Amino acid sequence: MSSSTPGPRGRVAVLGGGPAGMATALSVHGAGHEVAIFERYPEARPAGNVLNLWPPPLKALRLMGVDTEDLGAPCQTEFRSSKGRVRAVVRSAPEVVEQYGRGGGFIGLLRPELYERMLAALPPGVLRTNQLVERIEQDDRGVTLYFADGTIHEADVLVGADGINSLVRRTLWGETPIREHRLHTIAGFTFADDIGGETGMCVISHGRRVQGSWTSIRHKGRSGYQWWVLEATDPEAPAPTDLHARATELGREFLHPLPDLIERTEPENVQRWVLRDRGYLDQWSKGRITLAGDAAHATSPYAAYGAGMSIEDGWFIGRALEGVDLTDLAAVRQALQSYEEPRKPHTKFQVDMAYRNGQMFHHAPRPLQPIRDLVFDRTPFLQKVVGDTNPKEINKQLALITD
Ligand SMILES: Cc1cc2nc3c(=O)[nH]c(=O)nc-3n(C[C@H](O)[C@H](O)[C@H](O)COP(=O)(O)OP(=O)(O)OC[C@H]3O[C@@H](n4cnc5c(N)ncnc54)[C@H](O)[C@@H]3O)c2cc1C
């Protein structure tokens, strides 16, 4: 996408150099406006290792000029019991499979490569690092960002892409409580090449209380696997002292290759996260400021779609601001509203579904667990929810992402 769109050139500030911030900057630049990302850390650093992306964010990335050639391993996704019974097959439309590859192009990758490729597509100077924003203000004429080092920056529009603990969200809408999912996940990756068994697969398996999953990945021309185990926890409890040992213990009840993958993973490639979100915001934008990504709709990894939705948000913000005179407050308000309105039902659906799935798989009362598993094993319930409905819902976005 080139920055050749005619129209008044405004100034857009983006707070946060994660997937939402980078995508917003790429799309806003493509819309012909001047854009700067302010990131508190010395670099735009990936928060974590494992990642899967659906086709809509891939399409948005391509349209924004990101090189998606050989990015990630396209995977066919299946939900199985820990004993290997297939409970649901994620079905994408044939045309999506044709265009995006195996399984409809749910790709397995490592986060650093996504960041590198997005950064490579940004014009020089857009990303400004070591810029901790402490306060923001807006009036009818513009937005002011106040940095920890005492400097300020002025812009016509601000996009808060500053994650689950967003300062921008808090400033606009006050504090909204964290919703603890009372779950944690331990994840890792390996390039061991003699594992044997299936490739090009994303296998999400559930035992009675633990999820044990793996997917093929492709990272900088190398093929490998990422895996994760997930269980209920007290969010206040200290992390296991040996993550690799805990993952090994949890992975034991699952079939090959999960236990092998965990064993073959170097301990430094193992990480842990506590799962939480922040519930739902009815309104994202106020005046000249809006929100994107986790700042607007923090999402549990159970959706495997938080980064994907963040990239989509960025794409739609650029499209909404294209050709808009950013000095005109009424025009800005209208543009930001036209961005957020269609995003809200889609992102709410994903946030809610991710939360519900986590509760259903890990917090069902003990006496109900065998009944739940019987339903999953013997009825089309799971196929309907995660195999048919959800990919359709996600792939509806593909049609909306057009050049
Ligand atoms: C274990 C795990 C697995 C996941 N798996 C997937 C998956 O498979 N697929 C998927 O799509 N999503 C996945 N997600 C979700 C995904 O990681 C997030 O939804 C995504 O990172 C959100 O992007 P973001 O840009 O909105 O926020 P972030 O990635 O949190 O970025 C926010 C940025 O803002 C910066 N910032 C914050 N405050 C300030 C400030 N005051 N001043 C300056 N800078 C600031 C931060 O340093 C950070 O760089 C997973 C998440 C986890 C935890």
pLDDT of residue 2: 46
Query: With 70 as the cut, is the pLDDT of residue 300 above it?
Result: yes
pLDDT of residue 196: 84
Tens-digit pLDDT profile for residues 92-104: 889 999 999 888 8
Residue at token pair 């890990």: 362
Range of lowest pLDDT (165-169, 174-178, 284-288):
174-178
Phi, psi of 162, rounded to the nearest 5 degrees:
-105, 30
pLDDT of residue 280: 84
* Residue 112 preceded by cis peptide, ω within 30: no
Instruction: Please indicate whether residue 298, judged by its CB atom, sits closer than 6 Å to ligand 1.
Output: no
The dihedral over CA atoms of 89, 92, 94, 96, expressed in degrees to the nearest 10, equals -140
Instruction: Please indicate whether residue 251, judged by its CB atom, sits closer than 6 Å to ligand 1.
Output: no
Q: What percent of the chain has pLDDT over 70?
A: 98
- Residue whose CA is at the smallest distance from ligand 1 atom 38: 162
Q: Are 324 and 10 in contact (CB under 8 A)?
A: yes
Tokens of 159: 């996009």
* Cα-to-centroid distance, 172 and ligand 1 (Å): 20
* Cα-to-centroid distance, 98 and ligand 1 (Å): 30
User: pLDDT class for 6, splitting at 50, 70, 90?
Assistant: low
Q: Average of pLDDT values for 183-200?
A: 92
Domain ranges of the chain: 11-179+277-400
Q: What does the alpha-carbon distance between residue 114 and residue 360 come to, in Å, rounded to a whole number? A: 31
Tens-digit pLDDT profile for residues 346-380: 999 999 999 999 999 999 999 999 999 999 999 99
* Cα-to-centroid distance, 305 and ligand 1 (Å): 11
* Cα-to-centroid distance, 86 and ligand 1 (Å): 31
Name the residue of 211, 272, 310, 317 whose CB sits within 8 Å of the most ligand 1 atoms, as the mutation to test its pocket: 310
Q: How many residues does the chain have?
A: 403
pLDDT of residue 395: 87
Q: Are 177 and 279 in contact (CB under 8 A)?
A: yes
Instruction: Please indicate whether residue 57, judged by its CB atom, sits closer than 6 Å to ligand 1.
Output: no
* Cα-to-centroid distance, 47 and ligand 1 (Å): 6
Which residue type, as a one-letter code, is found at position 52?
N
Range of lowest pLDDT (130-144, 188-202, 335-349, 360-374):
188-202
Cα maximum dimension of the chain:
64
* Residue 257 preceded by cis peptide, ω within 30: yes
Q: Average of pLDDT values for 24-53?
A: 95
Q: 286-320 as b/e, with b when 16 or more CB fall inside 10 Å? A: ebbbbbbbbbbbbbbbbbbbbbbbbbbbbbbbbbb
pLDDT of residue 1: 55
Instruction: Please indicate whether residue 373, judged by its CB atom, sits closer than 6 Å to ligand 1.
Output: no
CATH number of 11-179+277-400: 3.50.50.60
* Cα-to-centroid distance, 298 and ligand 1 (Å): 9
